[in-house]
Structure 1
Amino acid sequence: MELRQYLHAHGKDSIGIIGVSWAEDRFGDPSESRLQRIAAFIDPKIPVVRETDDLVKAFSPLEQVPANFVYNRSGKLIYGDGSPKLMTKKQLEGLLAGSK
């Protein structure tokens, strides 16, 4: 996973990450252990929040995973529209460099 590579190269404190579990109930039985395995693979310190009506409204349309959203330090959305695009390490580095 590219995010894991970014964290390894730049340090785990270089960006803030929150995982949002919004698909667990939509595509079969939710599995807490599966969710925790995925989060731990990237970094075990990443907090994961569950889907709420407010999250769905804020990030819609979410159709597939992964959906990446990047915000600058001021809270402005600089990348992401809810589409299932994989973000590369190079793309993330460019976005973050341009947001300084």
Structure 2
Amino acid sequence: MTSRSPALAAAAFVLALGLAGTAAAHAHLKRSVPTASGTVAGPTQVEAWFTEDLEPKFSSITVTGPGPNGKKVDKGDTHTDPADAKHLIVSI
């Protein structure tokens, strides 16, 4: 191994970092039913539409009840709509 090898390896590493793509931005909420921060009596589910396709294993909705205690009221079954990867649904 010559003395140039470490420098060449370092240069290749820096070049690889420069060529690496950046991660996509996070999806943003476009709309929801009921509306975000809204209060409704007796909904059976909450739906949310986002600006980008969602990765189901990293996406969830938590619905809490009114009042200061904010008890969780959703069934924990958040899933994307099979027909629209930007649409997230959870049962109440």
Normalising by the smaller structure, the TM-score range is under 0.3
Structure (1 or 2) with the greater helix fraction: 1
TM-score (norm 1): 0.24
Normalised TM-score (structure 2): 0.25
Rg larger in 1 or in 2?
A: 2
